[in-house]
Every structure is written in C-alpha cells, then in structure tokens.
Structure 1
Amino acid sequence: MILEDLYRLLKSGHVQAQGIVDTMTQPIVVLDHNLCVTNTNNAFVRTFEVERDDILGQSFFALGNGQWEIAELHQLIASVIPKAAAVIGFEVTHDFPAIGQRTFLVDARRLIHPDNNSSNILILFNDVTESRRQDAERDFVVAETRHRLKNLLAVTRSIAMQTQTEDRTAAEYRDIFLGRFEVTLRAQEMATTDQTIDFEVLLRQSVGEPGLDRLHCDGPAVTLASSKVLAFGMIFHELGTNAVKYGALSVPDGQIHVTWALETGPRGRAYLICEWQEKNGLPVTPPKRRGYGTDLIEGTSAHLGGKAELKYDPNGLAATIKIPL
C-alpha cells in the first residue's frame, strides 16, 4: 500500500466517522486533554445556534456566556480521563444565549480509540426541557387533584355530620344529604371548568329545578371567582331547599324574588349585596332551634369576609347577603 492509498483510506475513515457523529440527533462535542473543543456535530451547532469555526479550539467552559462553567460539572469532566470515570445524566438548567431557558442532561466519557490510549472526551447533551415541563405539569395536576379531593371529602364529612337526624326518617336524612352533596359536586365542577362563573347561572343551578319557573332574578352581570363558587352555591341551595320544604316553593303560588347590586366598601373593596325575598308562601315563623342551614348561610358568609341576615317575616323569609368580591 502506497502512502497515497493510506491517506485516502484514513480520509475515508475520518469522513465516515464524522458522518456518523453528524447523524446523531443529540448535540455532541469532543474535548482534548485541555478540555478544549476539537470537534462537534451538526446537532450541537443547530441546537445552540453557534458557528462551528467559532467554538473549535475554545475551552468548553468558556462557551456561550460560561454556561457550562459549573464547579461540580467541571470537576466531573476533568476526572474522566485520569480516573477512567464517566459523567451520566448531570442536569444543567440555564438561560442559554440565543435559545433561552433550557434543561440538559450531560453525559461525558472517554472517547474510545483502537490503541486504548485516547485522551479525548466525548460529551453528549440530551435536551429534557419539554419532558421536565410535562413532569411539572403532571405533578401540579396530581397535587391539585389531591387537594380538591381532600377538600371535597372534608365538605362531605361536614355535611354528613351536621345534617340533623333527630325527628327524621332514614329516607329523609338520605334525601337531604344527597341534595346538599349534589350541589357541592355541581359547584366543584363549575369551579374546575371555568376561571369565573356568572352569578345568576350559579344562583339558578343552586336553587334547582323545583323552583326555576318561580325564581325571579334582577341584577347586573356579576362574575365570581372559582374559589367562591362552592360557598355561594351552598348558601343558595340551602335557601332554595328550605323554600321547597317550608317556604314559598311549598305552595303553588309562591315565588322567590332575588335582586342584587354591587357596592363599594372601605378601601374601594367591591361587595355583592343580594336580597332574597319569598312571597305568597306559607306563614313563616322563627325556628325553635338553630339548625345546620342557618349555620351554613351565616357561617359561610362570615368565612368569605361578609355577613348574612335572615328575617322570618310572616309574609315570607327574607335574607340579605353581603359578600366581598
């Protein structure tokens, strides 16, 4: 074999090796014993938007804005040759020039050579930015689901514990509990599907089917934050349930008139003032004992930073509810 044939063979091997490296979709660089770049592939050039000639011969730790100059990573790569070590999956999150915030897993190994005497280091970069984002979103969804489930179970337990059993049959208790539980589920569903809820829509859904044709609403368009949906839903469901059992909706000619307005309170805080008035129903008298419904309406309003006032007028129950938006 003459020298020219040997040169062609070596050149052919080099071209083939470079072709293999450039075929790789992950960015790759090769460092010499001084940790300077001796070669790189097309994926590295495209990923980091650099010119190959600009980085050849440069210290790896001086590339970009010093993005790889991390003490631990520097130490690990420097130990690859003398300690026959390897770097596997070292995570780097950085705001890279031209491409912005990215997360890479870095692998570094000694470059294999036929005489087993290579002092070059092959470094491979795996962009995991998208997978990390998806992991974070999944973790958030799981955490939010657990939080909502925990809240729902707490509300369910509270409903069960505070729904009175005295002077009620098992069927009556079941119906009352399921009614309150159903409005809780509807409110939770609305809260999870929308960022804001129309107040009148929530009001009508909370009162329920038996009284919709006799529920008269009048007020400006008001949107509620999803965090307040469950509380408002429980309040008006309780008022509606009581109207069906004891009030205006328990007789054919009874009606409910609900009006509301917005009011500016101290420090410019907006309040929703809602008036609930039952008409043409059975005569109303104050209850002999304080029940779950009264506690729920007044307690929930207070919890939201507002207040509720119930008036047992003989002509029909009247309620004034004031809650900050």
Structure 2
Amino acid sequence: MRDRIAALGRAHSLADHTTDQGMSDLASLVSATLQPYRDHIPIVIEGPAVAIDWRYVSSLAMILHECATNSVKYGALGTDDGSLDVTWEHRPEGLTLEWVERMTRRTEPAAGRGFGTLMIEMSLRQLEATVERHSDEGSYRLTINFPNIGPTAELERVANF
C-alpha cells in the first residue's frame, strides 16, 4: 500500500498547478513510475507528446504502478535479462498505450483476482479504457486503448533509460 501511495504522490507532483488546465504529460508520468526500476533492465519510453488532464492522472498512475509491480513479480522487471518498452500512439479512436515485456521466461501469476487487478480494473473503468493482454513464455503485451485521455501536442518526446 505504501508503494501505491508513493506512486500517486509522484504522479500528482507532475501536474502543472500554475495553469487552469492542470495538465501532466504522459512521458513524464511513465518515466516517474518506472524511475525505481531504471537500473534493472533496459527500458524504452516512447511516443508523441500527450498532455493528460488532471482528472485522469491518478487513474493512469495506478494502472502504470500496478503494471510495474506485476512486472517485478512475474515479468521482465523481476529478471536481469529482460527488457521493457512502453510506447503510445494517437489513433482515430483515441490513444493506444502498449506495455511490452520481453524475458527468457515469464512466471505465471496465481489464479484469481488480487487487489492490484481490482485497482487496474477500477482505474480502466474511470478512464473508459479497454485493455487487451497477450502473453507467452518469453513476452507479455498489454495494450490499453484510451478513448479520451486528454489533449495532444504535435511534438515528439522520447526518453530512453
């Protein structure tokens, strides 16, 4: 629970409180979420600049934090030979974010729905987002489609750890 609160604190600190718009940008949010893991494996964060409306920041931060937590337990962030790519792009139906882990072997999570899964599902509902998951022994892909996450900018922002 302490890690979840810390993740929310980092996310909230990214919002621009000096304007009426209260925006944060997606690359900064993803980077802040993955900051504790940057020395674990190669991480690529890439996509066009996307401003996130303040009302979506908490939900998106929780989704990203839970993805990172699950990755430490079962995926690439829990290995020393994996990699993680977090990318996004604009599509006619909204914004699509992909979380792609590659590793030599993925540990299967226990059956059932834990607290983290419930947090992700609740956050996805708040964002009116849909999710697709695909995994095999050496990879895990999570694709999240956000119909209306916030205004966009034309500049490209790329951060590589």
TM-score, normalised to structure 1, is 0.41
* Gapped regions of structure 2 (runs ≥ 5): 150-161
**Is 1:299 the counterpart of 2:122 in the alignment?**
yes
Contact 1:259 1:276 in 2 (8 A): yes
Instruction: Give 1:76's aligned residue.
Output: none
Distance of 2:6 and 2:86 partners within structure 1: 22
| Equivalent residues in 2 for 1:83-232, closer than 5 Å | 177-191=1-15, 193=17, 195-211=22-38, 214-232=42-60
Post-superposition shift, 1:286? 5.1
* Gapped regions of structure 1 (runs ≥ 5): 1-176, 266-270
Post-superposition shift, 1:218? 2.2
Instruction: Give 1:63's aligned residue.
Output: none
Q: Secondary structure at the match of 1:208?
A: helix
Distance 1:227 1:281, change over 3 A: farther
Q: Which runs of 4+ in 1 moved over 6 A?
A: none
Distance of 1:246 and 1:284 partners within structure 2: 5
Contact 1:286 1:312 in 2 (8 A): no
Q: Secondary structure at the match of 1:227?
A: helix
Instruction: Give 1:272's aligned residue.
Output: 95
Instruction: Output the amino acid matched with 2:32.
Output: Q
Instruction: Output the amino acid matched with 2:34.
Output: V
More strand by proportion, 1 or 2?
A: 2
Instruction: Output the amino acid matched with 2:50.
Output: V
Post-superposition shift, 1:243? 1.2
Q: C-alpha root-mean-square deviation of aligned residues, in Å?
A: 1.9
Post-superposition shift, 1:282? 3.0
Distance of 1:257 and 1:308 partners within structure 2: 17
From 81, 86, 90, the counterpart of 1:253: 81
1:262-285 Cα distance to aligned partner (Å, 9 max, x none): 1123xxxxx110111100253243
Q: Secondary structure at the match of 1:237?
A: helix
* Higher deviation after alignment, 280-289 or 231-240: 280-289
* Higher deviation after alignment, 249-258 or 303-312: 303-312
Distance of 2:30 and 2:13 partners within structure 1: 15
> What fraction of aligned residue pairs are identical, expressed as a percent?
31
Distance of 1:231 and 1:220 partners within structure 2: 20
Distance of 1:281 and 1:293 partners within structure 2: 24
Distance of 2:133 and 2:35 partners within structure 1: 21
TM-score, normalised to structure 2, is 0.79
Instruction: Give 2:62's aligned residue.
Output: 234
| Equivalent residues in 2 for 1:19-30, closer than 5 Å | none
Contact 1:248 1:280 in 2 (8 A): yes
Aligned length: 144
Distance of 2:16 and 2:46 partners within structure 1: 27
More helix by proportion, 1 or 2?
A: 1
| Equivalent residues in 2 for 1:284-323, closer than 5 Å | 284-285=107-108, 287-323=110-146
